[in-house]
Amino acid sequence: MQKEDNDTSSSQDKIHTSSQLSKSRIFKARLATFFGFFQIGILVFAWSTGTFQLRSQLGLDGESGDSIFGMIALAIGVGGAIGCFGFGKLIDKYGPRKIISICYLVSPLTLVALGFANAVTFAIAGAFMMGLLRGATDTAINMHGVEVERHYGKPIMASFHAAFPVGGFIGGLIGSALATKFVDSAVVSFSILGISMLILSFFVIDWVLKPEELLSKTADLNPQHTNASKASLKVITIMVAFGTVLLGSYLSEGAVVDWGQEFVRRVTETSAAAAALAVTFYSGASFIGRICADKLAELLGSKAVIIICSLLTLTGLIVLLTIPSLYLFYLGFALIGLGLSAIPPLMLSSAGRIDPANAGLNIGIVSGVGYVGLLAGPAFIALIVHNVSISWMPILPLALMLIVAICGPALMRFAPEFRRAGGSGKCPFHSKSKEKTIA
């Protein structure tokens, strides 16, 4: 018994505080987090801007191929949800470094493999693996982001998420350019972007925080919040509620990524390259929103930012539903990008701060429930496209974003807030005026 106590004490002694790690070490960990979101952005938008080529490669052109393509997109959602739910507890147990290392190296290879798909079954299997690794990466890198955020003692999660649209913008531009040259095959575009990400991964894996470099689970929390570490039923219920709100956000994102290019191409009767540019506008606007979101949340509060973002998204979706114009569609996609930009990072940061001892599990629950939007969304949207018209594709995201606008702000009161600049610094997440005790 005494030996166990000594081992526990020794293990706790190894836990770092932000003052014990050098600024350069924490900065490298921050860069490693940026890269994770950047890689996800590259891979997701490589897929998005390559859907026309992949459909041609598989013989799924036009309306006749919509249902089968919906199954391929559905496989990404299924894999993503399983990846989120399945890896959260492992990340809490072993730390994010091991999971991140595997995901950074294997994820790009799934995109390359998908580019060589010459049968629907192969494409579905490849899409499932891509989704599984995306879900695992998403959960691990968000948990790592919460840890880095705690080291800095200020809100920076939205800036991490800004790396996702940067990757999407670059991947979208490259994918759009390659779409004009390789119209009937996704092999070249998927291979170039996938192999590039694999090479870059080798350089940043060592920058991820090691288990002994993670902060103590309660080092910077107000004592009123430390009893949440028991992963009570109430905390889990709150996480499911966070995830349900994210479902609307993720489904809207999935609609843009999976169906955006085809929607613009067929409704406006434009070229595949011009249609792919709409998705690129979405990604660029999302980047702008996320680099501003941390400051806006500090100035206006998280509730106000989520309300504003929901209204922007709703406006963009209404434009897509009512005005069939290529250039106004570009505007609509940009508004959707701005609107969706801050909702996931604010929700996931809040979930991670509520209970750092179970941050991986909680983020996995929130992301997993949210990924149901990616899982169920393609099936419902394919049903709308097949039975009504692709011009009605935005109607489901529109309905769900109304729920986000109403319920999202109400949930933010459960998360302890960061202190504003000039506070004591002893409890960077705590604000007496804005908190609600969990237990």
Q: What does the pLDDT look like over 279-325, one tens digit per residue?
A: 888 878 888 999 998 888 878 888 888 999 999 999 999 999 998 88
Q: Considering Cα of 439, then 421, then 35, then 80, what sign does the dihedral take?
A: positive
Identify the weakest region by mean pLDDT among 111-125, 166-180, 340-354, 405-419.
Answer: 405-419
Residue 167 sits at the vertex; the CA angle it makes with 320 and 55, to the nearest 5 degrees, is 60
The CATH architecture assigned to 23-207+223-414 reads: Up-down Bundle (1.20)
**Model confidence at 216, in pLDDT bands (50, 70, 90)?**
low
- Six-digit token string for 250: 């993720």
**Model confidence at 46, in pLDDT bands (50, 70, 90)?**
confident
For residue 370, pLDDT beyond 50? yes
For residue 117, pLDDT beyond 60? yes
Helices 272-300/157-181 angle, 10° precision? 170
Give me the chain's average pLDDT, please. Answer: 80
What tens digit of pLDDT does each residue of 310-368 get? 999 999 999 999 988 889 999 999 999 999 988 988 888 887 777 777 878 888 888 88
The percent helix, strand, coil of the chain (3-state, each to 5) is: 80, 0, 20
The domains of the chain are located at: 23-207+223-414
**Model confidence at 220, in pLDDT bands (50, 70, 90)?**
very low
The conformation of residue 225, written as its DSSP 8-state character, comes to: H
Instruction: Please name which of 176, 190, 189, 186 lies closest in space to residue 58, comparing C-alpha atoms.
Output: 186
d(CA 305, CA 350) in angstroms, rounded, equals: 14
What tens digit of pLDDT does each residue of 161-187 get? 888 878 887 888 888 888 777 767 788
Look at residue 233 in the predicted model and tell me its pLDDT.
Answer: 77
Give the mean pLDDT of 40-46. 88
- What is the pTM for the complete model shown? 0.74
Instruction: Please name which of 117, 403, 97, 396 lies closest in space to residue 252, comparing C-alpha atoms.
Output: 396
